[in-house]
């Protein structure tokens, strides 16, 4: 009887040890009811103003959540793709062909992988970053860096911001966000500036207004050069962006949107 009891106890202990060894990953956050879905596609037009030009279309772009379902580390992801290209005369003196892709966890809204291909004038760069959210590191072809919990990339960070509830937020409230770029971790902030009605070629929209902090350098000479307006409804779709650059200013405007999860209630006409 004692022998059988000891054997049963040993089997039970072995089961507990094996179960624990097979589940080492910590629990990740769960963001319920994200305001986007696979199949959402937004089209945008980029205008450029300077002392030589006024309102000339410089480029076009799309932001898409692809229909395909992909798993990374056993977890489902949204495959988000951003494409931008210059048009017309801008191809002559500053050709742009950019692609950014992010594989974003569907529950935690954080990236597992990031890819970018940049061709801007004479500058070209291509890289893939693998991101381990469990062990908190990110690795490119050149370097491995330690990251804070729930690190974002420049694509996934925006989709995470879309999940936030701004219904009780006061103007000037700050939202911190960490993201990985160029093998470095950046600690950024987004300032909420209230509500406005914005007029575009698609019509008039009730919007939430934000100022995101960017990295200063060859393009931006101040930390908050950009203003972004997103729809004041459950979608939080970007409608308009304006930014001062070192030479002139640019404006990014929504021209078409398909596959929204919710009705576009922010549109006024």
- The residue among 222 and 187 whose pLDDT is bigger is 187
> Is residue 224 a contact partner of residue 243, using CB atoms and an 8 Å limit?
no
> Please, what are the domains in the chain?
26-258 (2.40.360)
Closest CA to 209 of 201, 221, 197: 197
* pLDDT for residue 222: 47
Q: Tens of pLDDT along 159-211?
A: 999 999 999 999 999 999 999 999 999 998 999 999 999 999 899 999 999 99
53, pLDDT greater than 90:
no
- The residue among 93 and 9 whose pLDDT is bigger is 93
Q: Tens of pLDDT along 127-139?
A: 999 999 999 999 9
* Other residues' Cβ atoms within 10 Å of the Cβ of residue 74: 6
State the DSSP code for 22.
T
DSSP assignment string, 182-243: TTEEEEEEEEEEEEEEEEETTEEEEEEEEEE----SSS-SSS--EEEEEESSSS--EEEEEE
State the DSSP code for 230.
E
């Amino acid at each position: 009887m004692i022998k059988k009891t000891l054997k049963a106890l040993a089997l039970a202990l072995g089961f507990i040890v094996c179960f624990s060894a097979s589940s080492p990953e910590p629990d990740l956050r769960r963001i319920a009811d994200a305001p986007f879905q696979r199949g959402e596609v937004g089209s945008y037009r980029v205008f450029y103003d300077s002392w030589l030009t006024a309102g000339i279309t410089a480029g076009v772009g799309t932001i898409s959540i692809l229909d395909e379902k992909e798993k990374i580390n056993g977890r489902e992801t949204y495959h988000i793709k951003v494409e931008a290209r210059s048009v017309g005369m801008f191809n002559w003196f500053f050709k742009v062909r950019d692609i950014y892709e992010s594989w974003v966890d569907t529950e935690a809204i954080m990236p597992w992988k990031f890819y970018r291909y940049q061709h801007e004038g004479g500058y070209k760069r291509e890289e893939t970053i693998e991101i381990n959210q469990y062990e908190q590191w990110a690795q490119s072809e050149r370097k491995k860096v330690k990251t804070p919990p729930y690190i974002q990339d420049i694509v996934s960070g925006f989709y995470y911001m879309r999940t936030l509830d701004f219904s009780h937020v006061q103007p000037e409230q700050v939202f911190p966000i960490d993201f990985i770029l160029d093998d470095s971790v950046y600690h950024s902030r987004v300032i909420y500036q209230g509500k406005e009605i914005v007029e575009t070629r698609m019509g008039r929209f009730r919007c939430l207004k934000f100022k995101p902090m960017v990295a200063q350098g060859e393009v931006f000479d101040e930390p908050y050069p950009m203003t972004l307006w997103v729809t004041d409804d459950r979608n939080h779709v970007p409608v308009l962006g304006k930014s001062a650059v070192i030479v002139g200013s640019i404006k990014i405007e929504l021209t078409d949107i398909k596959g929204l999860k919710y009705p576009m209630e922010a549109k006024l006409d």
